[in-house]
A and B are shown apart, each in its own frame.
Chain A
Amino acid sequence: MERPRRITDSFPRRRRRGPGRPPGRLKDRKDKDKDKDKTQLKVRDCPRAASQPPPDPALMEMLRRFDLSWEYGPCSGITRLQRWERAQELGLSPPGPIRDALLEHGDNPDVTYRWVWDGVGW
Chain B
Amino acid sequence: MFSEQAAPTAQGLLAPPSGEPPTFPRVAAEGYSDLSQPFRLGERSFSRQYAHVYAVRLAGMRPRLERRARGRWGNDIALRRLSELQEGEKCCVVGTLFKAMQLQPSILQEISEEHNLVPQPPLPKYIQPSDELMLEDELQRIKLEGAIDVQRLVTGKGQRWLWWQPPCRGWLGLSACCAAGTIVAVYGCEQEDGRFLVEDHCLADLPPPLPWSGPSSDRFVLLASGLGLGSMSGEALLSTQLLVDVVTGQLGAEGEQSCAAHITRVILAGNLLSQNTQSRDTINKAKYLTKKTQAASVEAVKMLDEILLQLCTSVPVDVMPGEFDPTNYTLPQQPLHRCMLPLASAYATLRLVTNPYQASLDGVRFLGTSGQNISDIFKYSSMDDYLEILEWTLLAGHISPTAPDTLGCYPFYKSDPFILTECPHIYFCGNAPRFQSKLLQGKEGQRVLLVTVPDFSATQTACLVNLRDLSCQPITFFSFGADSED
Contact = CB atoms under 8 A, between A and B. Distances in A.
Interface of A: 38-40, 67-68, 70-71, 73-78, 82, 85-86, 89-92, 116, 119, 121-122
B291 interface: no
B409 to A, nearest CB: 15
A20 B411 CA distance: 28
B413 interface: yes
A78 B52 contact: yes
Contacts of B163: 122
B138 A78 contact: no
A63 to B, nearest CB: 12
B168 A90 contact: no
Contacts of A75: 170-171
| Interface of A, helix, strand, loop or mixed by DSSP | loop
A86 B170 contact: no
Interface of B: 45, 47-49, 51-52, 55-56, 59-60, 63, 138-139, 163, 165-166, 168-171, 173, 178, 411, 413-415
Given A74-B51, A76-B168, A86-B413, A92 B173 contact: no
Contacts of B45: 116
A74 B139 contact: no
A2 B181 CA distance: 71
A119 B338 CA distance: 30
A90 B138 CA distance: 14
A12 to B, nearest CB: 24
A82 B49 CA distance: 15
Contact of A82 (B168, B170, B414): B414
Contact of A73 (B55, B63, B166, B173): B55
A98 B361 CA distance: 44
B139 A68 contact: no
Contacts of A71: 138
Contact of B49 (A38, A67, A122): A122
A78 B415 CA distance: 13
Given A73-B52, A77-B47, A86 B171 contact: no
